[in-house]
């Protein structure tokens, strides 16, 4: 078995370790993207309402 396969297999626990890390970064990623999108959309709305506002993008 190659070294990479060995690493991915995690001594037989790969089926538990990798989903755990995958899910962790899925959750963190979703929270990050969602929060950023919300901020962008609010910045755009504010820009439409009052372009000179310093908080508007």
Residue 31 in the binding site for other proteins (CB under 8 A): yes
Is the separation of the CB atoms in 40 and 53 below 8 Å?
A: no
Residue 33 in the binding site for other proteins (CB under 8 A): no
With CB under 8 A as the contact rule, the residue among 2, 4, 20, 52 that binds other proteins is: 20
How wide is the angle at C-alpha 29 spanned by C-alphas 54 and 45, nearest 5°?
25
With CB under 8 A as the contact rule, the residue among 1, 11, 51, 52 that binds other proteins is: 11
How wide is the angle at C-alpha 26 spanned by C-alphas 45 and 10, nearest 5°?
165
With CB under 8 A as the contact rule, the residue among 1, 28, 51, 52 that binds other proteins is: 28
């Amino acid at each position: 078995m190659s070294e990479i396969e060995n690493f991915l297999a995690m001594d037989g626990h790969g089926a538990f370790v990798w989903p755990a890390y995958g899910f962790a970064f899925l959750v963190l990623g979703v929270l990050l993207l969602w929060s950023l999108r919300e901020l962008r959309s609010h910045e755009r709305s504010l820009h439409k309402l009052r372009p000179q506002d310093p908080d508007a993008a």
